[in-house]
Structure 1
Amino acid sequence: MADNVITTVKGREKLAKAHMGTAALPAITQIGFGTGGHDTGTGLPLTPTGTETVVPGEVLKKNITSFSFPVATTAEIVGVLDYSEANGVSISAFGLYDSAGDLVALKYTTPKPKASDTRLEITWDEQF
């Protein structure tokens, strides 16, 4: 099943204002990892509303690991939960936060169990 991804209302508001020159667009600087992106009965990803202001069930928020531009219209963002982080939970929600601290994008997936022998890396392509 495909992941459910949305740009939040706050993210779309910031893009609109930046396009019209009335506000600067803050850089994406952090990624949040959470447990609340799936139906606990079926394990299937839920559908984000776009009104979320934090990653549901957020267990850790940290700086993005890296970014690149594989093509001119795509920003590829990488975030990592290392071996010692967030063990004992199943991660199913990921969110991108900008430098102002606002959640601007959200992704729900099937749950991924996190244990001390697991390193979880997410690559998020923002296509424009």
Structure 2
Amino acid sequence: MNVVTTVYGREAMAKAHAGDASLPKITHIAFGVGGGAGVAPNPNATALTSEIIRKAVANHTFPVSTTVRYHVDITGDEVGGAGINEAALIDQTGKAVAIQTFGTKTIEPGETVGFDWDEEF
């Protein structure tokens, strides 16, 4: 798995740390078919290469004090049998804060898969 915090995400954090802006909340995780295990995410991107679905974050937890774990459930019916191999944390402005690519995962019709993303600080 390859993960990158986007330039947009780093700029937003820098402005928030300086007190010049508030940090937009993470609201969604997007999934797509434009990645893969050997494909490095583009840090300049503000969206996935080929997004097929965007899911609202169902819940979040703090497994340790410096990590936020975001959770969504995806069903095979929602992705139409597509092999998912990229994901992005999306903030309330609709832009990707972080992108990851990974080996293709196929979700069969009628199947539900939980997906967790750990954002570490």
Q: 2:23 aligns with which of 18, 21, 25?
A: 25
Cα separation, 1, equivalents of 2:42 and 2:84: 19
TM-score by length of 1: 0.89
Aligned residues: 121
Runs (4+) off by over 2 Å: none
Q: Could you tell me which residue of structure 1 aligns to residue 8 of structure 2?
A: 10
Report SS of the residue matched to 1:13. Answer: helix
TM-score by length of 2: 0.94
Name the one with the larger helix percent: 2
**8 Å contact kept, 2:75–2:110:** no
Structure 2 unaligned regions, length at least 5: none
Quote the offset at 1:120 in angstroms: 2.4
Alpha carbon RMSD of aligned pairs, Å? 1.1
Pair 1:76-2:69 in alignment: yes
Pair 1:67-2:65 in alignment: no
Cα separation, 1, equivalents of 2:38 and 2:110: 24
Pair 1:93-2:89 in alignment: no
Cα separation, 1, equivalents of 2:38 and 2:62: 28
Quote the offset at 1:95 in angstroms: 0.4
Q: Percent identity?
A: 37
